[in-house]
Amino acid sequence: MAQIATMKPLAESIGAYAIRIRPASKPDLADIIRIDEEVSGLSKRNYWKDVFAQMRGRSQSPRFLLVAEDQNQIQGFILGEIRSWEFGEPVCGWVLAIQVRPKTRLEGIGTRLFSAICEAFRNAGISSVRTIMARDNHLVLSFFRSQGMMAGPFIELEMSLDEGI
Amino acid sequence: MKLQKASSFALFAVLELAANPTRQLSGVEIAEKYGISAHHLAKVLRDLGRAQIVDGTRGVGGGYHLVANPKRLTLLDVIQVFEPVGSDSGEGLVSKTPTDAELALRVILGELDDHTVATFRSITIATLLKLMARKPWASARPARGVGKAAVRA
């Protein structure tokens, strides 16, 4: 978490918004839960509480939770983590979640959040960033493509345990 | 993965029009730049017009311009005007009394179709223009897949 603590807030006007990107703090938790619920339609209160709890603790995998703030209102957030040797791959930055309030989309807030977390990864000595998502999530898939992300060297596989082997 | 000529020509034209939003370009101009048949491209542009992706003006100073939003127009939108994408890979595989082998193969081909559709749908014309500006193929480590893509006659 050292990278979070030393990261300078970045302020910039985007469209109608004066957006500042900064590390999330405990008072942001309610907004993050609300935005995630608004976008995904699912309440993940315990998950986000766990994310905050893990960030306060000592972890082998540094996490970055950044928020985009406009006049004291959180408009979006991004969660990332540095992982080593996941799936046999060397150290890499992972974007685990990104959400922007639907009303403030198309204002470049997602791009600012993604740029900020990439900068945080770079400052931590990381040279590549990776994510994974549902292939029918056209909106977010298009967003990451527009940021320059391409297909990586992995293929995700899964099976239903109900089918049995 | 191969695209039909018409799909590739359409993408060339749409990219060219998106890169020159303040100009009207003639089919001949675009065909000369890409070294492709002006006659074939004219037919492709007419199809793109019918799909409301481009619009054309006849006469002196006329030409084509993009009417679709390049930040919203995806590769899938353009390609699907000319060929089915990811829906017929298993066509002909399953007979009236399909064997387990046929059905299993169809499942695998369906996986490939799903990935193809998701990829084409996730890339907009604006994103492809950004990729062209970035030129990842010019770096020491070539972009994955470069050199394998092809145009089907």
- Helix axis angle for A138-146 and A109-123, nearest 10°, is 60
Cβ–Cβ < 8 Å for B70, B127: no
**Chain A residue with minimal CA distance to B134?**
A148
What value, to the nearest 5°, has the Cα angle with vertex B80 and ends A141 and B98?
95
Q: Are A135 and B144 in contact (CB < 8 Å)?
A: no
Higher pLDDT, A106 or B56: B56
The two structure tokens encoding residue A147: 């940021």
Minimal C-alpha gap between B67 and chain A (Å):
20
Which domains, from first to last, does chain B contain? Answer: 2-135 (1.10.10.10)
Q: Do A150 and B144 touch (CB under 8 A)?
A: yes
Q: Residue A8 has what pLDDT?
A: 55
Backbone angles phi, psi at A50, to 5 degrees: -65, -40
Over residues B32-58, the mean pLDDT reads 96
The predicted structure's pLDDT at residue A14: 60
Q: Tokens 């309030």 appear where? A: A101
Chain B residue at shortest CA distance from A106: B71
CB contact B134 to A (< 8 Å): yes
**H or E segment to which residue A12 belongs:** strand A10-14
Cβ burial of B35 (10 Å; 0-12, 13-18, 19+) is exposed
| All residues at 6 or more sequence positions from B80 whose CB lies less than 8 Å from its CB, including other chains | none
Between chains, do A135 and B118 touch, taking CB under 8 Å as contact? yes
Question: What is the per-residue pLDDT across B55-109, written as a single tens digit (0 to 9) for each?
Answer: 999 887 789 999 999 999 999 999 999 999 986 655 666 677 889 999 999 999 9
Which residues in chain A touch residue B122, judged by CB atoms under 8 angstroms apart? 138, 141-142, 145
Give the predicted TM-score (pTM) of the model: 0.84
Chain A residues with CB under 8 Å of B144 CB are 150-151, 153
- Tell me the β-bridge partners of A82: A93
Burial class from Cβ neighbours inside 10 Å (0-12, 13-18, 19+) for residue A89 reads middle
Q: Say yes or no for a CB contact (<8 Å) between A136 and B124.
A: no
Q: How far is B69 from chain A (nearest CA, A)?
A: 14
Quickly list DSSP for A111-158. Answer: HHHHHHHHHHHHHTT---EEE---TT-HHHHHHHHHTT----S-----
Question: Is the CB of B149 inside 8 Å of chain A's CB atoms?
Answer: no
Domain A2-146: which topology? Aminopeptidase (3.40.630)
Angle, helices B5-19/B27-34, rounded to nearest 10 degrees: 110
Residues A68-82: pLDDT tens digits?
999 889 999 999 999
Residue from the list B118, B134, B143 with its beta carbon closest to the beta carbon of A141: B118
B51 at interface of A, judged by CB pairs closer than 8 A: no
Distance separating alpha carbons of residues B46 and B48, to the nearest angstrom: 5
Given a contact cutoff of 8 angstroms between Cβ atoms, the answer to whether B37 and B31 are in contact is yes
pLDDT score, position B90 = 57
Q: DSSP secondary structure string, B37-82?
A: -HHHHHHHHHHHHHTTSEEEE-STT-EEEE-S-TTT-BHHHHHTTT
Complex-level ipTM: 0.80
CB-nearest to A135 from B114, B131, B144 is B114
Contacts of A148 in chain B (CB under 8 A): 130-131, 134
* Residue A3: pLDDT over 60: no
Instruction: Sketch the domain layout of chain A as residue ranges.
Output: 2-146
The Cα B53–Cα B66 span in angstroms is: 6
Least confident of A102-111, A155-164, B81-90, B140-149: B140-149
